[in-house]
């Protein structure tokens, strides 16, 4: 993991074990009663804005636990949206919309694969067309961050978009 610090290049790069959102574990499954089967368009860097911080370099390292192919939903990225500046982060798309984008790119991953995305990149998680076990997708994200320490505690609120998810996913 530490070998990846070079990709940010800042001297205080570190793994955000208990800072900001810390390690994120996402578990998607598509059933009649699912609350979490997809995730709308967003950039991870918007959370800096919510914390009242300047947007700083950040990488999210995904550790994929399930096989996931583009025909079974999964992560969709908009290449080139990570280095266009603040306007792109704020306004390139509508936050939390679920509509596919003609330029989006999906991933094919095997269990144990690592992926890295820049915190400023627009991305979403598409819903699986399958239901039940075939739709299950589990992925952990380890953030590599820089800048001021904002420690997560038991009192910390859920991630900002999780608070809105129950109605954006219906």
Ligand X SMILES: O=C(O)CCC(=O)C(=O)O
Location of structure tokens 């990488």:
59
| Site track for Fe ion across 10-49, x = CB under 5 A | ----------------------------------x-----
71 φ/ψ angles, rounded to the nearest 5 degrees: -85, 5
Select from ligand X, Fe ion, none the partner in contact with residue 122, using the beta carbon and a kind-dependent cut-off of 5 to 8 Å.
none
In sequence order, which residues have a C-beta less than 8 Å from that of residue 101 and are 6 or more positions away? Answer: 41, 76, 78, 93
Let me know: does 65 contact 138? Beta carbons within 8 Å: yes
Q: How far is the CB of 39 from ligand X (least distance, A)?
A: 5
Q: How far is the CB of 12 from ligand X (least distance, A)?
A: 22
User: Which CB sits closer to ligand X, 4 or 24?
Assistant: 24
Select from Fe ion, ligand X, none the partner in contact with residue 75, using the beta carbon and a kind-dependent cut-off of 5 to 8 Å.
ligand X
Q: How far is the CB of 158 from ligand X (least distance, A)?
A: 11
User: Which CB sits closer to ligand X, 24 or 56?
Assistant: 24
∠50-56-62 over CA atoms, to 5°? 85
Q: How far is the CB of 32 from Fe ion (least distance, A)?
A: 26
Q: DSSP secondary structure string, 51-100?
A: TT------EEEEEE-S-B-TBTBEEEE-TT-TTS-HHHHHHSS-TT----
End-to-end CA distance of the chain: 36
Report residue 27 as tokens. Answer: 């578990």
| Positions that interact with ligand X (CB under 6 A) | 24, 26, 39, 44, 62, 75, 123, 125, 139, 141
User: Which CB sits closer to ligand X, 139 or 145?
Assistant: 139
Strand partners, 60: 117, 143
Select from Fe ion, ligand X, none the partner in contact with residue 39, using the beta carbon and a kind-dependent cut-off of 5 to 8 Å.
ligand X
List contacts with Fe ion (CB under 5 A): 44
């Amino acid at each position: 993991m530490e070998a990846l610090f070079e990709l940010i290049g800042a001297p205080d790069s570190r793994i955000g074990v208990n800072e900001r959102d810390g390690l994120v574990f996402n578990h998607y499954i598509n059933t009649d009663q699912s609350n979490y089967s997809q995730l709308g368009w967003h950039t991870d860097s918007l959370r800096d804005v919510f914390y009242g911080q300047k947007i700083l370099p950040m990488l999210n390292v995904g550790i994929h636990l399930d096989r996931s192919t583009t025909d079974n939903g999964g992560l969709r990225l908009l290449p080139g949206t990570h280095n266009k500046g603040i306007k792109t982060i704020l306004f390139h798309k509508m936050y939390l919309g679920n509509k596919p984008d003609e330029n989006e790119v999906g991933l094919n991953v095997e269990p144990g694969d690592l992926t890295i995305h820049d915190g400023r990149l627009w991305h979403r998680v598409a819903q699986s067309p399958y239901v039940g076990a075939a739709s299950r997708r589990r992925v952990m994200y380890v953030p590599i961050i820089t800048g001021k320490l904002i420690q997560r505690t038991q009192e910390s609120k859920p991630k900002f978009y999780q608070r809105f998810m129950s109605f954006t996913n219906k």
